[in-house]
Structure 1
């Protein structure tokens, strides 16, 4: 091979791209990865990781303001917004450096610049007006996605924010509007509310967190409302009028009437747009659906030698889904004997708000729609000793089983640390565990995980502690 010839070229170094590059290198492939911004992509630099750093700050601040509930006194809590943001950026930068180290360790060539497909297996990279042509036997497109703009007004970074702007605020808004109530919208709503902002959330659908189980959504709405947030479902923002240091928002309610309110800042969290423009896909005849690249369960497109993974290849738009797709594609490309197709039904979803939300598999409604006769179990946090000791008695665990076979169809949780607990049910589904296996499993005491056991028992009328 010449210097610019590879077994695999990966376009994009997010959690899908860099993981695909590492796995391919482990399997003996000569790999190059092309990145136009920063290694680690949106998730590491502007998404998953820095937002969790911010949410950790707001969690601690919440505990500080409620110290007396734990028999503690902390004076009058305060925060330095600049320091809060700096900590978040330091966390992202640390992990960015870690990805650089991983590329070097695995002998992956990093090519900086913007890549475009000249052919299915040829990539032209442009940086500072200079071009470099790379060729490979296979190319993986892992270019990710970006925030969808609101039709009423374009994000300006000052008054109207996307997630990027919301992570680096120069001032803490006193009154904040969040448009959209998916995981990103609810996480930012939770963060800013805990830091003292008066938050309003507007959602077009009939409930917040619409992909979650209906009971979970209802519980989260109740808790957020109790915390002081205003939740407006079946509503839409018809107009946004930026002023000198405020935004007037015209909001249409479920009854069809409109009201105009003024906010300090607005966060737009209404979904994503795949980064498929200017890649040369159309000229190659790559099949796409609503801008997302169509693939088979291994990541293959309809064009030989061309693969796609992550957000650019469709829902669910989650970092861990992208990483697993990267492994699947790399193994298929290398002819690895253990290569397996992607199974999206076992991908967990997590929302790191207060309270946290986590789920895997089918909701109760979807299970019934699929024709299952179901048995549903639930167990509340208030019935768990560890939850009470933590001062976190609000929440519940819900499990959905096939009544005839005992198959775990889905699991849904809301409350403290459920984003860590959900993996137990993910493993159970991956191993095709039945209710009997879970019932016979010994869970440690005292832990929050005991609620997982009790929820299973409850589905079959055998709960012990509630």
Structure 2
């Protein structure tokens, strides 16, 4: 039974970065990945990169051509990620499914067993498959990962779920020419956002041709020939519609089911996520968990920061924790991009802040008009007593870049005046932050 200093299960962002660091320090590493199609992790192969490739190409080329371009891109990145680690002397990349035998031992099913001083669980997450009657027997039902492998654009696409992933795909496929219908169980979109922002997102997507069915619960899926029939209930009425394809966008769950954790002292929460402390240690001190598998925000940059926390805990002064990451921004790549950092207006009020709110229509930004993309709105929330920035929402082109500046200002405890009086280049989208935060002066 071969022994390693470290076993890492999963080739995602945190795991692969840690593997490279440990190898450079002379540690022996076994990196176990169950699929050769997943070198580099979910982001590169099934998530951020392929979806953003298709989003960027929407409206500029045919869907089939965009799929080819996307595949070429992720194939190149997958190989690059593999080569970067495979060339290191101390790393063994092992293809296969890992299963815990005990707290110290990992079996690669059908191959052999290994032991290690440290073990890192970096297995990511997968799409939640809702318990809809007929789903398993029905053709042309997809997850976000499998949908992006289809080379034929569906004429009529149904999306079950109006969350962030559902909205990205709705905007993207509508711009390729699909007739998109979103089935949302709740009475509005993205419940964690302020209602004014949710309505603005809804109106933008409706202008792109997306139809929304709110307060709708899908009851049954079946096929009629090659079409999918969705039977759903809306306002106590039983209805049905026909589609060419159905995308399930009902959330994601941690990949822990087949890890054999029942053979260890590692504990899971009620959602099947690995329980960790502030340093990402599980309930077994030499076993850590990084990325989506531990729950929380499911972003590749969180997985990267998990690596930083682990590195500091193993080799540093143990100052980095999951509690001192600072403010964490996120972006949803509809068109235009929606980005946010900090508290929403409603969250700030609920937490007892005396708030001031500023809004700026994207149409008021010179660069947005130069680009011919005036849709959207910008919103800032500040503490009226301290002038501190509590949160910011940017629904405009390039907001995924702009939001990082606001995050940095918040993490450095700057006041709103510091952004209002900052000198930006012109004409740029970022200079709109001058006008947005000057509203408070």
| Cα deviations by residue, 1:324-354 (Å, 9 ceiling, x for unpaired) | 112212331x231364112466222111111
Q: In the alignment, is residue 431 of structure 1 matched against residue 412 of structure 2? A: yes
Instruction: Provide the aligned C-alpha RMSD in A.
Output: 2.0
Q: In the alignment, is residue 22 of structure 1 matched against residue 2 of structure 2? A: no
Question: Residues of 2 paired with 1:316 and 1:292: CA distance?
Answer: 12
Which residues of structure 1 form unaligned runs of 5+? 62-78
Question: Residues of 2 paired with 1:193 and 1:256: CA distance?
Answer: 29
Which deviates further from its counterpart, 151-160 or 273-282?
151-160
- Give 3-state SS (helix, strand or coil) of 2:378's partner: strand
- In the alignment, which residue of structure 1 is the partner of 2:239? 259
Question: Residues of 1 paired with 2:241 and 2:334: CA distance?
Answer: 25
TM-score, normalised relative to structure 2 = 0.93
Structure 2 CA distance for partners of 1:427 and 1:445, relative to 1, 3 Å: same
Which deviates further from its counterpart, 398-407 or 337-346?
337-346
How far the C-alpha of 1:44 sits from its partner, in A, is 0.9
Any runs of at least 4 consecutive aligned residues in structure 1 with deviations exceeding 6 A, and if so which? none
| Cα deviations by residue, 1:130-160 (Å, 9 ceiling, x for unpaired) | 22x2222211101111111121143679411
1:336 to 316, 324, 327: 316
Question: Residues of 2 paired with 1:217 and 1:185: CA distance?
Answer: 14
- In the alignment, which residue of structure 2 is the partner of 1:44? 44
The aligned runs of 1:176-255 (5 Å cut-off) are 176-253=157-234, 255=235
Alignment length (residue pairs): 435
Structure 2 CA distance for partners of 1:341 and 1:96, relative to 1, 3 Å: same
Structure 2 CA distance for partners of 1:241 and 1:91, relative to 1, 3 Å: same
1:449 to 408, 426, 430: 430
Please say if residues 24 and 330 of structure 1, whose CA atoms lie closer than 8 Å, have aligned partners that are also in contact. Answer: no
- Give 3-state SS (helix, strand or coil) of 1:413's partner: strand
Question: Residues of 2 paired with 1:151 and 1:439: CA distance?
Answer: 50
The aligned runs of 1:9-158 (5 Å cut-off) are 9-26=7-24, 29-37=27-35, 38-61=38-61, 79=62, 81-104=63-86, 107=89, 108-126=91-109, 129-131=110-112, 133-152=113-132, 153-154=134-135, 158=139
TM-score, normalised relative to structure 1 = 0.88
Structure 2 CA distance for partners of 1:271 and 1:156, relative to 1, 3 Å: farther
Please say if residues 290 and 307 of structure 2, whose CA atoms lie closer than 8 Å, have aligned partners that are also in contact. Answer: yes
Please say if residues 216 and 413 of structure 1, whose CA atoms lie closer than 8 Å, have aligned partners that are also in contact. Answer: no
The aligned runs of 1:236-385 (5 Å cut-off) are 236-253=217-234, 255-289=235-269, 290-332=271-313, 334-337=314-317, 339-343=319-323, 346-385=327-366
Structure 2 CA distance for partners of 1:379 and 1:313, relative to 1, 3 Å: same
How far the C-alpha of 1:211 sits from its partner, in A, is 3.1
